[in-house]
Structure 1
Amino acid sequence: MRELVFALDYDPGWNTLADTLADFPDARVRSLSLHATADSLWRVDHATGSPDALSAIEDAFLTADYYADCLATEPCGADSETEVLDETDDTLVLYTYWQRTPVCTSIPHLALEHLGDGLLFETQHEQRRHTWRIIHPEDADIHGFFDALHAELSADVNVEIIRLTGLSATNTATFSAEEGTLTREQREALTAAVHHGFYNTPREIDLGELAEELGLPRSTLTYRVRRAEAEIIKQYMNHDPVSPSDPTS
């Protein structure tokens, strides 16, 4: 099995929960369980924060026009229901069930399509950042998954790949990109992104600000960074970090 960790960063107005959490920097929402089939999704989330933050989070879950996991930017006709399972002064536990329609999609459903069955999901929302951790089979189509994800997302949603590892007894695997596989422009874009803190947590600059710093159109910089990341992912998935002679293989 392998581990994939990535994050989505939402600009204001693109995600109701992200907008809510941006107003309460100390609040967090993490998944306790998350399961998806081809036509449905259900999850249990645990929120922490002040009473005011929890009230706003509950309102964001219960009154949204469509379920937050849906990648559509407007209601897609899905039937969803959310219930409060537990609530204290500083915690909130919510259950949500979502029944898809043909035009609805989500990260778990894209993962099922491209990464295969038997997936494990873990998520965390902090301010405008939504971090995903997916445990998936070794033969999963990571490149296809990210192509499909970028196709569904608005250009105003930044995607950061945080970690790609093989799971072993020590949960580590080494990988380095081959020389000559990225264009000069792609390497320059990644170098600038690293230098200016784009991959730091918390992020110190977004792609729009970095594009202004470099004197490039945002669309050009976004394309270069995403194609570079996609090439590195493809190389990684073609790389076998476990030796055939390893008794754990």
Structure 2
Amino acid sequence: MRELVFALEYEPGCNRVADTLADHPDARVRSLSLHATDERLWRVDHAVGSPDALDDVEDAFLNSDYYADCLATDDCGATQTTRVLDHTDDTLVLYSDWERTPACASVPHIARDHLGDGVLFETRHEGRHYTWRIIHPGEGDVAAFFDALGAAVGDCARMEMLRTADTSASAGGTDGGAGGLSPEQEAALRAAVEHGYYESPREVDVGNLADHLDVPRSTLTYRLRRAEEQLAKRYVAGERLTDGASAPL
């Protein structure tokens, strides 16, 4: 089995949920379950954030022309039902059931076309960045998948490859750059270190660093956050391996 991780960075006005999350940097949405057949897609999503953020996220799901994961830029005529399963001050759980039309396209359906039927999906949505983790048999055509996805996304989003690896690989083994980071993440991390972002006190803030790299502030924040997450997980995994190796039999 193979793991494929990439992100879609939506342009303003292209995705109502992305626009809402961009207005609420404290909020994020992740999938608890996501399934697709040729004709349908249904999923359960878990959102966290401030009460105001969750109210706006709920409104984006329930009261806009938003179909779960549909990439069609025009009215696709799909039928979707979204229900609120739970809504507290800091948690929102939503169920979406989407019946597609021939005009519809989505990451799961494109993946099924090019990567095979035995595909698993996990998503995380923060700001304008929609990260997908796909587990697939490894027998499909990944290049054709990205070509088809790029055609479906068009100018609405930019794609960024984050990781591709064998799921049986060790915690440190990936096909990415140093430490398993994508080239964009590695460049962001190197620039942050070189310009004193991690010094105390900081010698540069994220806004000035983003200007230096000529990327949006939200993009740089996302890349640094993902890079820090990867490095932290690998550090902890390495500690566990070391502790296990030194433990008495």
TM-score w.r.t. structure 1 length? 0.71
**Unaligned stretches of 5+ in structure 2?**
193-205, 216-249
Residue of structure 2 in register with 1:153 after alignment: 153
Instruction: Please give the alpha-carbon distance, in whole angstroms, between the structure 1 residues aligned to 2:70 and 2:163.
Output: 23
1:197 pairs, out of 188, 205, 210, with: 188
SS of equivalent to 1:197: helix
Instruction: Please give the alpha-carbon distance, in whole angstroms, between the structure 2 residues aligned to 1:161 and 1:67.
Output: 24
Describe the shift of the 1:58–1:174 C-alpha distance in structure 2 as closer, same or farther (beyond 3 A).
Answer: closer
Instruction: Please give the alpha-carbon distance, in whole angstroms, between the structure 2 residues aligned to 1:57 and 1:93.
Output: 11
TM-score w.r.t. structure 2 length? 0.71
CA-atom RMSD, angstroms? 3.0
Instruction: Please give the alpha-carbon distance, in whole angstroms, between the structure 2 residues aligned to 1:28 and 1:145.
Output: 26
2:20 is matched by which residue type in structure 1?
A: T
Find out whether 1:106 has 2:97 as its counterpart.
no
SS of equivalent to 1:19: helix
* Structure 1 contact 165–171 (Cα < 8 Å) conserved: no
1:97 is matched by which residue type in structure 2?
A: D
* Structure 1 contact 160–199 (Cα < 8 Å) conserved: no
Describe the shift of the 1:168–1:196 C-alpha distance in structure 2 as closer, same or farther (beyond 3 A).
Answer: closer
Residue of structure 2 in register with 1:33 after alignment: 33
Per-residue CA deviations over 1:19-58 (Å, capped at 9, x if unaligned) read 0001100101000000000010000000001110000000
Residue of structure 2 in register with 1:7 after alignment: 7
Identity over aligned residues, as a percent? 58
Report how far residue 199 of structure 1 moved. 11
Instruction: Please give the alpha-carbon distance, in whole angstroms, between the structure 2 residues aligned to 1:2 and 1:200.
Output: 31
Residue of structure 1 in register with 2:127 after alignment: 127
Instruction: Please give the alpha-carbon distance, in whole angstroms, between the structure 2 residues aligned to 1:77 and 1:126.
Output: 27
SS of equivalent to 2:6: strand
Find out whether 1:16 has 2:22 as its counterpart.
no
Instruction: Please give the alpha-carbon distance, in whole angstroms, between the structure 2 residues aligned to 1:200 and 1:72.
Output: 36
* Structure 1 contact 66–75 (Cα < 8 Å) conserved: no
Describe the shift of the 1:176–1:34 C-alpha distance in structure 2 as closer, same or farther (beyond 3 A).
Answer: closer
The structure with the largest helix share of the pair is 2
**Unaligned stretches of 5+ in structure 1?**
178-189, 211-249
Residue of structure 2 in register with 1:73 after alignment: 73
Per-residue CA deviations over 1:51-97 (Å, capped at 9, x if unaligned) read 10000000000012130410011220000000001111100000000
Aligned length: 196
